[in-house]
């Protein structure tokens, strides 16, 4: 049981062309996928457009299949035509629905969806669906995936590129798939036609704690560089400097009323003379008082909202929160800058200039020769603590007309800590004593996120349910919980406990199970079912120390063997120390690398089996006379 509620960590999706929430559908197969893309010059708008013709032929695996076909679009993509044929005939009553597409934790989005039911009456019936679309800015033409919501038996993707258009195509995740590429020069159109053919591409399958789609599925990363058409020379993202210049132009003049920002900063730092105290006061104010929302809307998906507006409304997306953090700090004379980055969810970095590279914005602070990366969307992490999702990620930091490329530091598992120290005695056939818990880093953030989402009067009850793992035989009293609002301090809990389920008796012997938590006990993988690597949400450093007082005239007659498992990605340690009048149980569980490759699942399962064996060994105490 956990009180940490589900939090959407995918902050303000800056790239509006890549939302994947597919679950493979066994009712249909895609027998043929044919997607065609062509760059065209529009004389009326004086812009390069991308014409897209996307066609899927579905085959029914059952009778009377009603399959929902959907196509996403937004302010940069228009759907110009939709057609559907079933068994060679136009589908009757075809009336696609066009509507806004809502997602949890997205306050406003320009994402729209066109959908309709594809009715396949017989097993083996085929339905061919075609969408014709126009994308109005090549910057937004970023990815082409060969996978779909259903298995693709045969597929073809073609891209027609006039010689006046400079485009690079990167091929990603091709290794284990049958994909062939051909290139053809079309003389009459002075264009190159690049075609990919492929077969037997598995359906996109959403799995918990799996890498993002850019790591998994075969796809193309399209890098639109320049165009020389209609008498114009257009530059998109030929270099990273071009991408930065475009971002910087969007981020100009986004402070708003500087007097309002300055007045608020002075109010927040009143009476503080130490620089770091002032910095923390400003940063923590944004963390605590500006509600994070996601806002995805064409250009606004990249343009930060003015800082004074975020301050006034008390909510903003990651760009708005970063911009307000910067504005407050700058008003107090600190060197704060906007930073663009892609979270761990994205496989790319800035070696490939593209809008697909980043999906997040934070504030960088240069102070006394050190850069602090301030992510106000991480409400309960202190300064110089970094969430796993941004650790090690490349950062594009503004520096006037230039930019700086750097990386967010990688924290060790010790940044995060879940520590328990208990002193127990045997009283009336129960384990009774005092417990102290400490949470640090992302473990603390998870706890505080849950606690602060609960009504104040219910916090103690919810905390006790969490601490007892909802076990009615784990009775907690005299709970003392530290402040839940200070990111600089550890979260602590102290309480009295009575555990009735951890001890049993036979004759005069006690059989004792000291560990009530048994973390990772249920974490073995179903290898035949799991498709992708497993990503832990954060590094883990779980430590438990339980001191058990041995009753007078008793001794420990059977002490379980120690467990020591050390692997490059994780460690499991359990030990027992017998001392005069007491016995000490120690457990240390460390997740050092948050990526557990599928190739390591067998070893992980073997180690979890050993961990469970250690968990299930009882300590036996009996009279000295026996």
pLDDT digit string, tens, across residues 297-308: 444 467 899 999
Rg (CA), the chain: 29
> 43 and 109 in one domain?
yes
Q: With beta carbons less than 8 A apart as the criterion, state whether 566 and 530 touch.
A: no
Q: Is 250 helix (H, G, I), strand (E, B) or coil?
A: helix
Structural domain ending residue among the three candidates 203, 238, 273:
238
Looking at 172-181, 434-443, 462-471, which range is the least confident one?
462-471
CATH number of the domain that residue 529 is part of: 2.60.120.1130
14, part of any domain:
no
What mean pLDDT do residues 453-477 have?
A: 85
- Residues 317 and 322: their CA atoms lie apart, in Å, by 9
Give the strands of the sheet with 402-407, arranged side by side. 370-374, 360-367, 335-341, 394-399, 402-407
> 465 and 353 in one domain?
no
- Residues 488 and 466: their CA atoms lie apart, in Å, by 23
Grade residue 461 by pLDDT with cuts at 50, 70 and 90. Answer: confident
CATH number of the domain that residue 375 is part of: 3.10.620.30
| Ranges of H-type helices in 212-317 | 213-216, 240-250, 258-269, 275-289, 307-313
What is the pLDDT of the chain when averaged over all its residues?
A: 91
- Residues 306 and 253: their CA atoms lie apart, in Å, by 8
Structural domain ending residue among the three candidates 386, 411, 436:
411
The confidence score (pLDDT) of residue 454 equals: 76
Dihedral sign of CA atoms 16, 22, 27, 30 in order: positive
13, part of any domain:
no
- Whether residue 478 is predicted with pLDDT greater than 60 in this model: the reply is yes
499, part of any domain:
yes
Q: With beta carbons less than 8 A apart as the criterion, state whether 155 and 146 touch.
A: yes
> 50 and 180 in one domain?
yes
Percent of the chain with pLDDT over 90: 81
The confidence score (pLDDT) of residue 101 equals: 74
Looking at 10-24, 372-386, 502-516, which range is the least confident one?
10-24
The confidence score (pLDDT) of residue 3 equals: 30
- Residues 283 and 277: their CA atoms lie apart, in Å, by 10
> 395 and 490 in one domain?
no
Q: Which two tokens stand for residue 547?
A: 């001191």
User: If you ran DSSP here, which 8-state letter would residue 439 be given?
Assistant: E
- Whether residue 107 is predicted with pLDDT greater than 80 in this model: the reply is no
Distance of CA 480 to the CA centre of its chain: 33
The confidence score (pLDDT) of residue 25 equals: 55
271, part of any domain:
yes
Grade residue 625 by pLDDT with cuts at 50, 70 and 90. Answer: confident
> 422 and 398 in one domain?
no
Going by C-alpha positions, the residue among 368, 292, 370, 358 that lies closest to residue 325 is 292
> 382 and 421 in one domain?
no
What mean pLDDT do residues 456-475 have?
A: 85
12, part of any domain:
no
Going by C-alpha positions, the residue among 331, 313, 320, 314 that lies closest to residue 264 is 331
22, part of any domain:
no
What mean pLDDT do residues 258-284 have?
A: 98
> 431 and 518 in one domain?
yes
The confidence score (pLDDT) of residue 109 equals: 55
Question: 433 vs 300, which has greater pLDDT?
Answer: 433
User: How far is CA 106 from each of CA 143, 358, 477, rounded to the nearest angstrom?
Assistant: 22, 18, 40
The confidence score (pLDDT) of residue 450 equals: 83
Domain limits at 317?
245-411
The confidence score (pLDDT) of residue 102 equals: 63
**Tally: H helices and E strands in the chain:** 9, 38
Q: With beta carbons less than 8 A apart as the criterion, state whether 393 and 407 touch.
A: yes
> 303 and 168 in one domain?
no
CATH number of the domain that residue 134 is part of: 2.60.40.3140
- Residues 389 and 95: their CA atoms lie apart, in Å, by 42
Looking at 85-89, 361-365, 502-506, which range is the least confident one?
502-506
pLDDT in tens, 591-612: 999 999 999 999 999 999 999 9
> 376 and 297 in one domain?
yes
> 386 and 289 in one domain?
yes
Per the listing, tokens 């016995």 go with 583
309-315: Cβ within 8 A, 24+ apart: 309/256, 311/260, 311/261, 311/264, 312/260, 314/289, 314/290, 315/107, 315/290, 315/291
> 533 and 492 in one domain?
yes
The confidence score (pLDDT) of residue 302 equals: 79
- Whether residue 1 is predicted with pLDDT greater than 60 in this model: the reply is no
Instruction: Give the DSSP per-residue string, 561-618.
Output: PPEEEE-SSEEEEEEEEEETTEEEEEEEEEE--SEE-GGGHHHHHHHHHHHHHHHHPP
- Whether residue 208 is predicted with pLDDT greater than 60 in this model: the reply is yes
- Catalogue the E-assigned strands of 278-416: 291-292, 294-296, 315-316, 335-341, 360-367, 370-374, 394-399, 402-407
> 171 and 224 in one domain?
yes
What mean pLDDT do residues 126-140 have?
A: 97
169, part of any domain:
yes
User: If you ran DSSP here, which 8-state letter would residue 246 be given?
Assistant: H
DSSP H or E stretch at residue 13: none
Going by C-alpha positions, the residue among 347, 329, 359, 203 that lies closest to residue 262 is 329
Grade residue 288 by pLDDT with cuts at 50, 70 and 90. Answer: very high
- Residues 243 and 241: their CA atoms lie apart, in Å, by 5
- Whether residue 173 is predicted with pLDDT greater than 60 in this model: the reply is yes
Grade residue 6 by pLDDT with cuts at 50, 70 and 90. Answer: very low
- Residues 427 and 552: their CA atoms lie apart, in Å, by 12
Percent of the chain with pLDDT over 70: 93
Per the listing, tokens 């950062």 go with 395
Grade residue 108 by pLDDT with cuts at 50, 70 and 90. Answer: very low
- Residues 241 and 234: their CA atoms lie apart, in Å, by 15
Model confidence, pTM: 0.90
The confidence score (pLDDT) of residue 198 equals: 98
Q: Is 352 helix (H, G, I), strand (E, B) or coil?
A: coil
2, part of any domain:
no
The confidence score (pLDDT) of residue 537 equals: 96
Q: How many domains does the chain have?
A: 3
DSSP H or E stretch at residue 412: none
Structural domain ending residue among the three candidates 411, 436, 463:
411
Distance of CA 349 to the CA centre of its chain: 16
């Amino acid at each position: 049981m956990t009180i940490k509620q589900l939090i959407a960590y995918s902050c303000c999706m800056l790239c509006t062309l890549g939302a994947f929430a597919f679950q493979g559908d066994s009712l249909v197969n895609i027998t043929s996928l044919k997607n065609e893309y062509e760059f065209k010059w529009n004389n009326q708008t004086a812009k390069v457009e991308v014409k897209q013709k996307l066609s899927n032929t579905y085959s029914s695996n059952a009778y009377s299949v009603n399959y929902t076909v959907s196509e996403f679009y937004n302010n940069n993509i228009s759907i110009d035509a939709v057609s559907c044929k079933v068994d060679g005939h136009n589908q009757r009553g075809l009336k696609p629905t066009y509507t806004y597409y809502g997602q949890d934790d997205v306050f406003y989005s320009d994402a729209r969806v066109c959908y309709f039911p594809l009715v396949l009456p017989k097993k083996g019936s085929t339905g061919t669906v075609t969408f014709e679309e126009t994308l109005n800015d090549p910057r937004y033409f970023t990815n082409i995936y060969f996978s779909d919501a259903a298995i693709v038996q045969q597929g073809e993707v073609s891209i027609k590129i006039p010689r006046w258009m400079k485009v690079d195509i990167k091929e990603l995740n091709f290794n284990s798939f049958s994909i062939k590429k051909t290139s053809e020069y079309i003389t009459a159109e002075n264009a190159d036609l690049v075609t990919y053919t492929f077969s037997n591409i598995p359906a996109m399958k959403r799995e918990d704690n799996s890498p993002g789609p850019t790591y998994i599925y075969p796809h193309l990363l399209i890098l639109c560089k320049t165009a020389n058409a209609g008498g114009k020379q257009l530059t998109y993202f030929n270099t990273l400097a071009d991408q930065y210049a475009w971002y910087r132009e969007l981020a100009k003049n986004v402070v708003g009323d500087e007097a309002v920002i300055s007045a608020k900063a002075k109010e927040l730092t009143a009476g503080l003379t130490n620089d770091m105290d002032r910095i923390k006061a400003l940063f923590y104010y944004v963390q605590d008082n500006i509600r994070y929302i996601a806002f995805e809307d064409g250009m606004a998906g990249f343009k930060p909202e003015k800082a004074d507006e975020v301050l006034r409304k008390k909510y903003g997306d990651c760009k708005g929160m970063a911009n307000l953090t910067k504005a407050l700090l700058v008003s107090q004379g600190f060197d704060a800058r906007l930073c663009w980055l892609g979270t761990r969810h994205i496989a790319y970095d800035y070696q490939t200039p593209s809008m697909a590279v980043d999906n997040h914005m934070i504030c960088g602070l240069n102070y006394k020769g050190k850069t602090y990366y301030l992510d106000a969307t991480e409400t309960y992490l202190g300064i110089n603590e970094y969430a796993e999702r941004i650790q090690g990620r490349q950062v594009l930091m503004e520096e006037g007309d230039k930019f700086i490329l750097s990386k967010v530091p990688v924290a060790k598992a010790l940044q995060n800590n879940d520590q328990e120290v208990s002193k127990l005695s045997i009283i009336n056939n129960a384990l009774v004593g005092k417990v102290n818990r400490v949470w640090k880093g992302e473990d603390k953030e998870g706890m505080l996120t849950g606690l602060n989402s609960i009504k104040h009067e219910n916090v103690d009850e919810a905390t006790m349910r969490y601490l007892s793992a909802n076990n009615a035989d784990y009775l907690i009293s005299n709970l003392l919980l530290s402040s839940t609002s200070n990111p600089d301090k550890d979260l602590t809990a102290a309480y009295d406990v009575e555990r009735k389920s951890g001890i049993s008796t036979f004759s005069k012997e006690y059989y004792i199970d000291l560990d009530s938590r048994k973390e990772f006990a249920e974490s073995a993988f179903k290898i035949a079912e799991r498709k992708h690597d497993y990503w832990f949400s954060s590094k883990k450093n779980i430590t438990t120390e339980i001191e058990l007082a041995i009753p007078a005239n008793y001794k420990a007659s059977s002490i379980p063997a120690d467990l020591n498992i050390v692997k490059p990605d994780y460690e499991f340690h359990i030990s027992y120390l017998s001392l005069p009048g007491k016995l000490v149980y120690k457990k240390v569980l460390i997740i050092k690398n948050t990526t557990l490759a599928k190739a390591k699942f067998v070893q992980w399962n073997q180690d979890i089996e050993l961990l469970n064996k250690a968990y299930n060994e009882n300590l036996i105490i009996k009279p000295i006379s026996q």
